[in-house]
């Protein structure tokens, strides 16, 4: 009965909200921070999503309680019901954005269940649910991240049609070098149980080749903050630094997340002079001193998911929200303490249901990449 009802809602959703609406015009690429008024955005899709098989790269950031999920489903499509529920929420996000007059584009999902082969290994794909991981927009440039998981090697092709459209509209287009992701790209001694040795953070990837996910970067105009993680290495950071132009400064930061992968549940710029931090990972003293004049807002504890499991992420998806402008922030509707805090601080949260997307590894920020925000390139420090 429950399943039938979802099937019906899902088919309605698919009927009225087709992906890849080719009639929608692609505009200019321009986004310099996380808070200028949003005009155009990419929203991911869980269509065709495949569960990765357990591997050292997956194990490096996956909560140990979730291992059973990968053992049971690894190498197979995500269960239909998960896809259906998350798709409804993604389509709801699209509707909210479009009602705010924001142009939304969706990727063209690949057949992620097809096995592919490189000279070094074989794999299936993952999904095109998280454009934030793959595409980094800095000013008028779209950077394709190199990525670090074999399952994500070809993921960018889900976005290629739209990147080409943006290129035609004048965007600069910068694909990062792909690493081989051969066995020796990964650190054979990495053990998630000992993520720090003699005070030095350990990572599952080595420094042998360039590697980064776009979501390890966060933008505050001319200043961009990035962390090393289990998908982003120093070479990857240096590659971005050298390619984005001398008007930008890339600052490397390190906090207390023992298994880092993506900075957007650790520090989140909200508006000029306002930064939200994850109090369980970030000490104020660890922030670069340039934040001394900023208001630092500690995120409240996450509300534990009522019926969803966090297979790919920490509990802190609470902070993984999307700013529409300096005041309005799209947040997950169950995160009541966060919503209250934002209101108290003068923001206008827009709550939407998004809990069924959480098990895919992210929330609203991960599920999107803002392509155009209306504002100039400025220094906020
Ligand atoms: N992809 C965002 C997840 C980060 C986290 O696990 O907190």
Residue 365, judged by CB atoms within 10 A of its CB (0-12, 13-18, 19+), counts as buried
User: What residue's CA is closest to ligand 1, atom 6?
Assistant: 313
Would you call 47 helix, strand, or coil by DSSP? coil
Name the residue of 132, 316, 364 whose CB sits within 8 Å of the most ligand 1 atoms, as the mutation to test its pocket. Answer: 316
CA 354, chain centre distance (Å): 15
3-state secondary structure of 80: helix
Q: What does the alpha-carbon distance between residue 40 and residue 37 come to, in Å, rounded to a whole number?
A: 10
- Ligand 1 centroid, distance to 264 Cα (angstroms): 7
Q: Which atom of ligand 1 is nearest to the CA of 261?
A: 4
Q: Which of 105, 133, 259, 262 is catalytic?
A: 262
pLDDT number for residue 5: 41
Q: What is the pLDDT of residue 21?
A: 55
In contact, 146 and 212? CB cutoff 8 Å: yes
Nearest residue (by CA) to ligand 1, atom 7, is 314
pTM score above 0.75: yes
Q: Is the CB of 316 under 6 A from ligand 1?
A: yes
Q: What is the pLDDT along the chain (381 residues), one digit of tens a residue?
A: 334 443 434 444 443 344 555 568 999 999 999 999 999 999 999 999 999 998 999 999 988 888 899 999 999 999 999 999 999 999 999 999 999 999 999 999 999 999 999 999 999 999 999 999 999 999 999 999 999 999 999 999 999 999 999 999 999 999 999 999 999 999 999 999 999 999 999 999 999 999 999 999 999 999 999 999 999 999 999 999 999 999 999 999 999 999 999 999 999 999 999 999 999 999 999 999 999 999 999 999 999 765 567 888 999 999 999 999 999 999 999 999 999 999 999 999 999 999 999 999 999 999 999 999 999 999 999
Instruction: Find the 247 Cα to ligand 1 centroid distance in Å.
Output: 29
What are the backbone dihedrals phi and psi of residue 271, each rounded to the nearest 5 degrees, phi first?
-170, 170
Cα–Cα distance between 260 and 231 in angstroms, integer?
Answer: 8
Active-site annotation holds for 243: no
**Site to substitute for ligand 1 among 62, 155, 260, 264, most atoms within 8 A of C-beta:** 264
Q: What share of the chain is helix, strand, coil (3-state, %, to 5)?
A: 30, 20, 50
Asked if 99 is an active-site residue, the reply is no
Examine the residue annotation and report whether 366 is marked as an active-site residue of this protein: yes
DSSP-assigned letter for residue 14: H
CA angle 360, 97, 18 (to 5 degrees): 70
- Give, for 71, the enclosing helix (H) or strand (E): helix 67-73
Q: What is the pLDDT of residue 11?
A: 44
**Buried b or exposed e, range 17-27, using 16+ CB within 10 angstroms:** bebeeeeeebb
60 secondary structure, DSSP code: T
Predicted confidence at residue 22, as pLDDT, reads 55
Task: List the beta bridge partners of residue 175.
Answer: 144
């Amino acid at each position: 009965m429950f399943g039938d009802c979802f099937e019906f809602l899902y088919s309605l959703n698919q009927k009225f909200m087709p992906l890849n609406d080719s009639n929608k015009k692609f505009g200019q690429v321009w986004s310099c921070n996380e808070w200028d008024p949003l005009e155009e955005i990419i929203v991911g899709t869980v269509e065709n999503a495949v569960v990765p098989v357990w591997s050292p790269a997956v194990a490096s950031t996956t909560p140990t309680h979730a291992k059973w999920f990968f053992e049971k489903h690894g190498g197979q499509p995500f269960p239909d019901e998960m896809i259906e529920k998350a798709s409804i929420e993604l389509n709801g996000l699209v509707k909210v954005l479009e009602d705010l007059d924001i142009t939304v584009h969706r990727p063209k999902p690949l057949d992620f269940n097809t096995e592919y082969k490189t000279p070094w290994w074989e794999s299936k794909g993952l999904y095109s649910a998280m454009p934030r991981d793959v595409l980094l927009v800095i000013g008028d440039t779209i950077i394709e991240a190199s990525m670090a998981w074999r399952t994500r090697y070809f993921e960018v092709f889900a976005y290629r049609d739209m990147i080409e459209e943006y290129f035609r509209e004048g965007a600069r287009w910068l694909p990062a070098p792909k690493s081989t992701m051969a066995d020796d790209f990964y650190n054979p001694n990495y053990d998630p149980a000992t993520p720090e040795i003699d005070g030095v953070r350990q990572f599952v990837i080595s420094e042998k080749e360039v590697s980064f996910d776009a979501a390890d970067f966060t933008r505050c105009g001319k200043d961009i903050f990035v962390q090393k993680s289990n998908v982003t290495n120093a070479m990857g950071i240096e590659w971005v630094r050298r390619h984005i132009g001398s008007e930008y400064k890339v600052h490397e930061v390190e906090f207390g997340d023992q298994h880092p992968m993506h900075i957007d549940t650790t520090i989140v710029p909200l508006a000029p002079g306002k930064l939200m931090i994850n109090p369980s990972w970030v000490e104020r003293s660890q922030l670069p001193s340039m934040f001394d004049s900023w208001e630092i807002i500690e995120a409240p504890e996450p509300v534990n998911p009522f019926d969803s499991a966090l297979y790919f992420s920490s509990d802190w998806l609470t902070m993984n929200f999307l700013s529409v402008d300096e005041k309005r922030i799209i947040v997950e509707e169950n995160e009541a303490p966060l919503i209250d805090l934002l209101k108290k601080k003068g923001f206008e949260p827009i709550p939407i249901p998004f809990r069924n997307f959480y098990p895919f590894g992210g929330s609203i920020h991960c599920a999107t990449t803002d392509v155009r925000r209306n504002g100039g390139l400025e220094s906020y420090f």
